[in-house]
Amino acid sequence: MALTPADGKATLSFSDGTPSLDLPLYKGSIGPDVIDIRALYGKTGKFTYDPGFLSTASCNSTITYIDGDKGELLYRGYPIQQLATQCDYLETCYLLLYGELPNASQKADFLGRVTSHTMVNEQMQFFLRGFRRDAHPMAVMTGLVGALSAFYPDSINLHDPAQREVSAIRLIAKMPTMVSMAYKYSVGQPYIYPRNELSYAGNFMRMMFATPCEDYKPNEVLVRAMDRIFILHADHEQNASTSTVRLCASSGTNPFAAIAAGVACLWGPAHGGANEACLNMLYDIQASGGVAKIGEFIAQVKDKNSNVKLMGFGHRVYKNYDPRAKLMRETCHEVLEALGLHDDPLFKLAMSLEKIALEDDYFVSRKLYPNVDYYSGIVQKAIGIPVPLFTAIFALARTVGWIAQLNEMIADAEYKIGRPRQLYVGSKHRDVKPIAKR
Ligand code: ACO
């Protein structure tokens, strides 16, 4: 996409005699301007240094916008609050993939395309059987998603838009089936086939909780909560897993392999694994004495030598309340109410911990607020999702965002293989000594 020049330019001056350099500035539709440093190395022989990409935009994008200071999240310009309360997940998928919300016939057509791909190749269950039953679901999901390229070789050409489209629909349609298969395998129950007359979230919950001897009638409040979890996790601009997908796909690998890379990245506790880690943290505090022990726990978090973090708090971009966390907190109330669990001790503990942290100078001064994972674990637990499956559900929901971002990258005329540079600080040139002299 042609970038819009901002007023002015950036001038880089050097104290080592290198001539100063004018660099173009570009403006986004909202958000900070960027300095285009692409000519820097060619003109000065120098790189920029930015571990963790704190000040580096790796791409231009039209998909998702976050204002971390305001605590605002937009998908294609629409506030997340509106999407989460007025649209369903498949409408959100359509929006992320194609740029606009669907009208009724576009929605029906999209639904038809997705539901015609909800089954997985029957052979996949034999592949799944190769895993240990106690394997972590994210270990299984990394394998299953990667294996899709072996099962669907007719949609692996990243550079063919038609094949990309089929692989996108396949991934969105099959993720719920694969996540529920991973779960059923872990508990030794038969797999439940998808039912296409159910909603996306309702079908997933039935595949999770029905058995051949007892059907599962999804509770509408819980289905809506699950759908909201999917919407809130659907995309989040250039986070670690999305950047992984883009970097992986930039080599021209197939879409299934690139999404499998995203699943692997998401697994980490600093990213998607935080919801599981957060719930485990709450259990630990509860086991050690509950609300009365919060002070002790917070003291540990503040002790830099303890390596203990308040999981579900803090975010690279949000320096204000994560808007998704607000919606998740509301959903948490609704679900616990619907299940008659409003006195749930874990939820009460989470609310007390949040309150104490938000009043503590350690968190206030560092602008650490709850992120989406703080309450999503409690909601999922109440719905009946086992804790180790939380991150797999995040992966299910984020798949559409990864695909939209991957498609955007491939369609960008400026797309190149991703290849960061480095500041080399290792040994200078030296010669290998014979082994006896080392
Ligand atoms: N608990 C305690 N201290 C924290 C926390 C936390 N959860 N998060 C950040 N800090 C502290 C850091 O120790 C650091 O303190 P210092 O300035 O005294 O050194 C300061 O706040 C800044 O934190 P950074 O680690 O530099 O922030 P960064 O942007 O690199 O990390 C991250 C963001 C990884 C999310 C971090 O806040 C964290 O680990 N949070 C807990 C895990 C979590 O909830 N992850 C989910 C993220 S949202 C998602 O993926 C859906």
pLDDT digits (tens, 9 = 90+) for 169-178: 999 999 999 9
What's the mean pLDDT in 127-145? 96
The 10s digit of each residue's pLDDT in 267-313 is 998 888 888 889 999 999 999 999 999 999 999 999 999 999 999 99
Catalytic residue among 88, 227, 235, 373: 373
373 pocket-lining for ligand 1 (C-beta < 6 Å)? yes
CA of 342 to the centre of ligand 1 (A): 30
What's residue 323's pLDDT?
94
Residue type, 226: M
Alpha carbons 264 and 268: distance in angstroms, whole number: 8
- Count of other CB atoms within 10 angstroms of residue 389: 22
373 is catalytic: yes
Q: Are 373 and 213 in contact (CB under 8 A)?
A: no
The 10s digit of each residue's pLDDT in 78-88 is 999 999 999 99
What's residue 276's pLDDT?
86
Q: Ligand 1, residues 281, 316, 380: which to mutate, most atoms within 8 A of Cβ?
A: 316
Nearest to 349 by CA among 288, 285, 296, 302: 285
Alpha carbons 399 and 422: distance in angstroms, whole number: 30
- Supply 370's token pair: 């709850």
Instruction: Give the H or E element holding residue 259.
Output: helix 255-266
- Count of other CB atoms within 10 angstroms of residue 167: 26
| pLDDT reading at 12 higher than 90 | yes
Reduce the DSSP state of residue 79 to 3 states and report it: strand
Atom of ligand 1 minimally distant from the CA of 373: 51
* Residue ID of nearest Cα to ligand 1 atom 28: 316
Alpha carbons 142 and 121: distance in angstroms, whole number: 17
User: CA 79 → CA 92, 185, 323, 391, 421, distances in Å?
Assistant: 12, 38, 9, 24, 36
271 pocket-lining for ligand 1 (C-beta < 6 Å)? yes
Nearest to 225 by CA among 65, 96, 385, 70: 385
429 is catalytic: no
Sorting pLDDT into bands at 50, 70 and 90, what band is 144?
Answer: very high
Atom of ligand 1 minimally distant from the CA of 362: 3
What are residue 55's phi and psi, to 5 degrees? -125, 20
**Which H, E and C letters describe 172-234, residue by residue?**
HHHHHHHHHHHHHHHHCCCCCCCCCCCCHHHHHHHHHHCECCECCCCCHHHHHHHHHHHHHCC
The 10s digit of each residue's pLDDT in 388-435 is 999 999 999 999 999 999 999 999 998 999 999 999 999 999 999 999
Alpha carbons 177 and 394: distance in angstroms, whole number: 14
Query: Which residues are CB-contacts of 38 (< 8 A; sequence separation ≥ 6)?
Result: none
- Count of other CB atoms within 10 angstroms of residue 43: 14
Q: Are 221 and 334 in contact (CB under 8 A)?
A: yes
CA of 366 to the centre of ligand 1 (A): 9
CA of 433 to the centre of ligand 1 (A): 45
What's residue 212's pLDDT?
96
CA of 398 to the centre of ligand 1 (A): 21
Q: Are 148 and 171 in contact (CB under 8 A)?
A: yes
The 10s digit of each residue's pLDDT in 308-359 is 999 999 998 899 889 999 999 999 999 999 999 888 888 899 989 999 999 9
- Supply 438's token pair: 């080392």
What's the mean pLDDT in 40-62? 96
371 pocket-lining for ligand 1 (C-beta < 6 Å)? yes
What's residue 284's pLDDT?
95
What's the mean pLDDT in 60-71? 95
311 pocket-lining for ligand 1 (C-beta < 6 Å)? yes
Mean pLDDT, the chain, whole residue set? 95
Q: Are 313 and 374 in contact (CB under 8 A)?
A: yes
CA of 312 to the centre of ligand 1 (A): 9
* Residue ID of nearest Cα to ligand 1 atom 20: 366
Q: Ligand 1, residues 138, 280, 294, 368: which to mutate, most atoms within 8 A of Cβ?
A: 368
The 10s digit of each residue's pLDDT in 188-245 is 999 999 999 999 999 999 999 999 999 998 899 999 999 999 999 999 999 999 999 9
Secondary structure tally for the chain: helices H, strands E: 18, 6
| pLDDT reading at 109 higher than 90 | yes
What's residue 1's pLDDT?
73
